[in-house]
Structure 1
C-alpha cells in the first residue's frame, strides 16, 4: 500500500486565503463597504468566521490585503506590456523609460484609465477611497501601502527625465506627478465625463507643454 500523505496545510490555507480575497472584493462591489461583513465574507468564501479572525483583525484589514493582492496581480499582468526600451536611469518596472517621456507617461496613464474603468478594480477602489475619508487610520494605510509606492514610480521616472534635461531644472517631480494623476482622479470620482485614453493623452500634453502659447 502507498503511504498515506497528510494534507498540505499550506496549499489549503492558500486556497482559503484566495477565496476570502475574492469574497471580500465581490461583496464590497455588490453591497458597498458598510454592508460588507466578516460573516458575509466567510459565508461567500466557504470558510468559518474564526478562520478570518485568525488571519485578520478586522474587515478593513481583510479588504485592504485583498485589494493590495488584486493590485499586485494587475501590475504583474500589465508589466510585460509596459516593459522594453532603453533605460535612462528610470524605474525597472511600472513606468517604462524609453527616452520619450510623453509616450511613456501616456502609456501608463492609459493603463490607469483601464484599471479605473475595470469593474473588478473600480468597486473596491471607490469603497476604500470613500471609507478612507471618514476612517483616518484606513485612509493612511491606503495611502502608505498602495498610493505612495505607485506615486514613487512617477517620481523616479520624472527624476530621470529631469537629469536627462527633458524637464525644467527647477521642476518638482512630486508636484509634476500631481498634474498627471489629479485630473484622472477628479474625473473618475465625479463620474460626470467619460474616462478615456484620449483624455489621458491630453493630460500629458497639457502637463508637459503647458497652456500658454509658445513663442
Structure 2
C-alpha cells in the first residue's frame, strides 16, 4: 500500500495556512490590528496557537504573509502577473493606469485594513518594515523605475533624471494622502499627480 502520510500532511498544512491567513485578515478588518492576537487568529482559524508559532514568530509576520498571499491571489484572478507595469509607448497614460490601480487597491476594504496595519507596524518594527518594503513595494518600484528608464531612452524623460527619485513625485503624495487622510483619494487626484510630476521631469 502507498504511504499517504506525507501528502495528507501537506494538504493539512496548506489548509491550515489558508485558514490562518483568512482569520488574520478578517480579524484585522473587524476588530483592528491592536486587538488582534495570535490566540484570536488560532481560534478563528480552528488551529492550535502553537501551530502558528511554529511558522511565524508574531502576529505581524502572520499578517504580512497573509497580505502577500492576498495580493498574489488578486493578481491571479485578474489574469495578471504579480507585478506588471504597462508600456504602451505613452508614458503619461501608463503612469495614470498604474496610479489609478493603486488608488483602487488602497480603497478596497479587503486590502485597506491590513495595509494600514502593516504600514503602521513597519514604523515600530524595523524587521517587519524591511520585509514589507522588500517583498511588496520594492518589486513594483523597480519595475516603475525601469519604465521611466525606457522613457528616458525614448526622450520622454530628461537624461539627467534619477528614476528612483522621480518615482517619489508620484508615489509619496499618494501614500501620504492615503495614510494621513488629508483629502479624497480618487482617479482624478492620481491623474493630477502624473501631470504635475511629468512636467517636472520632461525634457525642456
Fold match, TM over 0.5? yes
TM-score (norm: length of structure 1): 0.85
Q: Partner of 1:143: helix, strand, or coil?
A: helix
Partner of 2:88: 98
From the superposition, tell whether residues 19 and 119 of structure 1 become closer, same or farther in structure 2 (CA, over 3 Å): same
Following TM superposition, the consecutive aligned residue runs of length 4 or more in structure 1 with deviations greater than 4 angstroms are 3-7
> Which among 176, 191, 199 is matched to residue 186 of structure 1?
176
Partner of 1:57: 57
Displacement, 1:180?
A: 0.6
Q: RMSD of aligned C-alpha atoms? A: 2.4
Conserved 8 A contact 1:75-1:94: no
Partner of 1:198: 188
> In 2, distance between residues paired with 1:75 and 1:198?
24
Alignment of 1:22 onto 2:22? yes
Alignment of 1:114 onto 2:94? no
Bigger helix share: 2
TM-score (norm: length of structure 2): 0.89
Spell out, residue by residue over 1:179-199, the C-alpha distance to the aligned partner (whole angstroms, 9 max, x if none): 011111111112232111111
Conserved 8 A contact 1:79-1:93: no
Conserved 8 A contact 2:67-2:114: yes
Partner of 2:8: 8
Partner of 1:138: 128
Displacement, 1:149?
A: 1.4
Structure 2: which 5+ residue stretches go unaligned? none
Structure 1: which 5+ residue stretches go unaligned? 84-91
